[in-house]
Amino acid sequence: GGRKISAEHESRDIVDMPRQPESDDQPDTPLERMLLSRQLCPPTEKNRVRILTDVRDVRQAFLDLIESGKEAIYITTFILDDKQTSDLIIDRLCEKARAGVQVRLLVDGFGSFTLPEEQLQKLRDAGGRAVRFKAMSQFSRLAYLNFRNHRKLAVCDGQRAILGGANIVEDEMTDGDDEDTWIDLSLWIEGPAVPQLQAVFCSDWNFETEEQLPPAKLEDAEAIEDEQTSRLTVMPIGPDGPDEILDDFWQFVIHHAEQRIWICTPYCVPPPAAMRALELACGRGVDVRIMVPQVSDLRPVDYARYDYFRDLVEMGGQVFRYGGGMVHAKLGIVDDMTALVGSANFDVRSFFLNYELSVVVHDQPTIERLSDWYADLMDKCDEGVTDQSTFRAAMATAVRLFASEL
C-alpha cells in the first residue's frame, strides 16, 4: 500500500529552522546544492561534535546535559522504560523542574506504549511537562503504526544537544558491564546546529500540545572556535521535513559515490530503488558494505533482509554480521563526501513512514572519525550471508510481504 498519510500529519509545514547569517553563501558541493534545493538549511559551520559509542558514555552525557540546564531542557525519545537509568534521568529532570527550569519530555505513543503513566506523572508533579506523541489505546495500537515519532534528541538551553539512535532504556544507557547492552551511536553537539535541532523538537511539541514553544535563537549558540569543528546539515525526516528527503539523499549519494558506501543499520529492509542503486554501485566498482547485528531484536527483519544481502553479495558487495550483541547504530558514510548520523534506519519505515531526525556531516575530519569507528567494529564481524537454508529462504519471501510494517 501507499503511505496513506492522514490529513493531520499532511497539514504540517516544514520545520522553520534558524539560519547562520553567513549561510547565504553559495553551497560548496553538489550534495549541498541538492539539500538546499529541497528546502533544508545550508550547513552550519563551527560545531563541536563528540562521538558517543559506549552505553556508559551515553548515559553520562545525558546526565551532564541535564545538569548543565539553566533555562530549558527538551527531550524526545521513541522508547522510555522504567528501569534504573531512566528512573535516574527522570529524577534529575524533576530536580531541574522544581528549580524553575522549563522541562519538556516527549515520548512516542507506540514505542512507549507499555510505559507506566506514573513515570511521566512524576515529572508533571515536579512542574515539568510530559506528553505521549499520538497516544494510543489498547484497541488502536496496531491500527496506527505509521508516522510514529522515532526521533531521539535531547537539547539544553539551545546550546548543547545529544542526537542519535539511543532510546532512554537500560540496554542503551547503563553504567554497568551487562553483556546484554547494545552498541549504538550518538553525537554530542555544541554550536549553531543546536538551535536548529531545538526547532525540530519545538515543532513536534507544538504539533502535539496546545503549548507553543518559541523557536531557539541561533545567536544563543555561539560558534565554536576550536581548530577542529564540524559542518552539519540538520535533516528532519517525515511529514515536517522535505517530502521523501531520506530517499532523495540516499539516491543522490549512492549514484555519486566513487570509492565507498559504508552502511551500519540494525534493520535492513530498503526500498527497491535504493537497493537497486546499491547494486549498480557495486557494478561500477564502489566498495559497498552493510553492517548489521547477527541477531537483532526483531527476528522477522532478520529473515526479510536475507534476499537483499544475497543479491548484494552476488553483485560484489560485502555484508558484515556482528555476533557480539545488538548493533543499533544508524550510520552511512559515502566517500569523503558525507556521513549521515541519527535515528533513521536503512529501511522502508525510516524512508517513508516514520518521523526521523539525522544530521548530514560535510567535513572530512568528522567523517574520518566515524569511519574509524565503523572499521573497528567491522573487524569484530563475520563476513557474508548467514545460514543459506531452504527454511531461511522461504521465511525471507514470506516476511518481505510485510516489509513496510517491519
Does the annotation mark 335 as catalytic? yes
328 is annotated as an active-site residue: yes
Whether 147 contacts 354, CB under 8 Å:
yes
81, 328, 347, 362: the active-site residue: 328
157 is catalytic: yes
Residues 132 and 205: their CA atoms lie apart, in Å, by: 10
What size, in residues, is the chain? Answer: 406
Residue type present at position 310 = R
Of the residues 46, 96, 330, 362, only one is catalytic, namely 330
Report H helices in 180-263. Answer: 193-208, 245-256
Question: Which three three-digit cell numbers place residue 274?
Answer: 535504493
Closest CA to 147 of 3, 39, 343, 359: 3
How far is residue 284 CA from its own chain's centroid? 30
Asked if residues 52 and 195 have their Cβ atoms less than 8 Å apart, the reply is no
Active site residue 380: no
CB 400 within 8 A of CB 311: no
122 catalytic, yes or no?
no
User: Catalytic one among 96, 150, 204, 240?
Assistant: 150
The one catalytic residue in 108, 157, 171, 363 is 157
What is the number of other CB atoms lying within 10 angstroms of the CB of residue 221?
28
Q: What is d(CA 142, CA 240) in angstroms, rounded to the nearest whole number? A: 23
Please indicate whether residue 152 is annotated as part of the active site: yes
Q: Looking at this protein, which amino acid is placed at residue 152?
A: K
Q: How far apart are CA 274 and CA 257, in angstroms?
A: 13
Marked catalytic residue, from 335, 347, 362, 363: 335
Which residues are designated catalytic? 150, 152, 157, 328, 330, 335
